Homo-oligomer: A and B are copies of this chain.
Amino acid sequence: MNFKSTWYLALLATLLSFHCYAQEHEWRVLDPTKTVLLALPQGKVVIELAPQFSAKHVAQFIKLVKADHYDGNKFYRVIDGFVAQGGPKDGSAVDKAVPLLSLEGDWPTEKNWQFTKVQDNDLFAEQTGFKDGFPLGYNPSENKAWLLHCPGVIAMARSNTPDSASSHFYITNGQAPRYLDRIMTVFGRVVYGMNHVQAISRTSVIEGEEPVPESDYTPMISMKMMSDVSQEQQIRLEIENTEHPIFQQKLADRRARKNAFFFKKPPPVLDICQTPVLTRLLKNNG
């Protein structure tokens, strides 16, 4: 191959890559093999898993879901404005049989690591932003990134030991408990049915109130991989592509608040956990 044909190939590759970029969609379809369907008495919840960030936690969680580990488990630690935590009966045979996981709290970033930046000088991180729809923190000074404890993320509970998570998980249900970032493993986020998560019975009461009887705890009717659910029972969703220019323009618009409602402009900053990434039903659903 001579120089000229190499040059033509390079040009072709460039054109193709531009073409692919132009075709990249504003929305992406959820992969049912990385998506969980949680049935609660009040309705259905869909969780997108993040194997690209928390590989071992997701692998173990999928294995447990496929083994019906969570079916019939209860949310036994539910604190308003904090978390809804569930899992098998503590110390039961099924509980003890689950292998312990090493913490995946943050990860080293490669040179030229890319993400959709949202904000500098966040209280808890040098930078915040999105990747694949997931809110994350990034400290360039350390070359480290991590998934954030925004409302509606799912993370593994653990004891005081860092590498002690197994199958008990929590879903954040209030103002982001960001102090848990990096010391817990976030491995997915609720993309549908967060209202049903918010309606999980609280098990925690205020001082002076009667404790909530265990019979009132909200059960997980079933937890299944979306790919293991019959076509008619599937909820097929699309998520905004946070790497698409249209999403990035939305961030800029949200920061500028040009709408007439804002007679006085707020500070031009964005709280990453208060920046929505939208979900919609896939057309011709099912």
Contacts and interface: CB of A to CB of B under 8 A. Distances in A.
A261 to B, nearest CB: 5
How many of these chains are in the complex? 2
A119 B124 contact: no
A271 to B, nearest CB: 6
Nearest to A260: B160
A195 B267 contact: no
B271 A207 contact: no
Contacts of A264: 162, 182-183
B208 A282 contact: yes
Contact of A183 (B176, B262, B285): B262
A56 B176 CA distance: 32
A262 B285 CA distance: 44
A273 B150 CA distance: 13
Contacts of A234: none
Contacts of A271: 123-124, 175-176, 178
Interface of A: 80-81, 119, 121-124, 150-152, 160-162, 173-183, 192, 194-195, 198-199, 202, 206-209, 257, 260-264, 266-267, 269, 271, 273-274, 276, 278-283, 285
